[in-house]
Amino acid sequence: MYSLMEVVKEISVEVPDLPERLKAARVKDGRRVQLLATLSEISTGYWYKLENGESQKVSKDIIDRIQQVLGVDFGVTFDG
């Protein structure tokens, strides 16, 4: 049986133009991928997969952490 938090973490969405938007936000931020990934609590490899378009979907939990670390809002909604 899954807890509510585990279910929420599994909800994922495809973010339009995520690779380009993520890279632009990272470059503007100026910090290294390794640090941003660590602060977002994801692996550096997964960050690169998102940025290179190799991973098309991202969970609400992860996109929220990335947005918080970068101080951006990708305008993603997860309702419905």
Confidence of residue 78 (pLDDT cuts 50, 70, 90): low
pLDDT at residue 10 greater than cutoff 90:
no
pTM here? 0.81
3-state class (DSSP) for residue 28: helix
Q: Which residue has the higher pLDDT, 22 or 15?
A: 22
- Percent of the chain exceeding pLDDT 90 equals 60
pLDDT at residue 6 greater than cutoff 60:
no
CATH architecture, range 13-70: Orthogonal Bundle (1.10)
Report how far residue 14's alpha carbon sits from residue 39's, in angstroms, rounded to the nearest whole number: 22
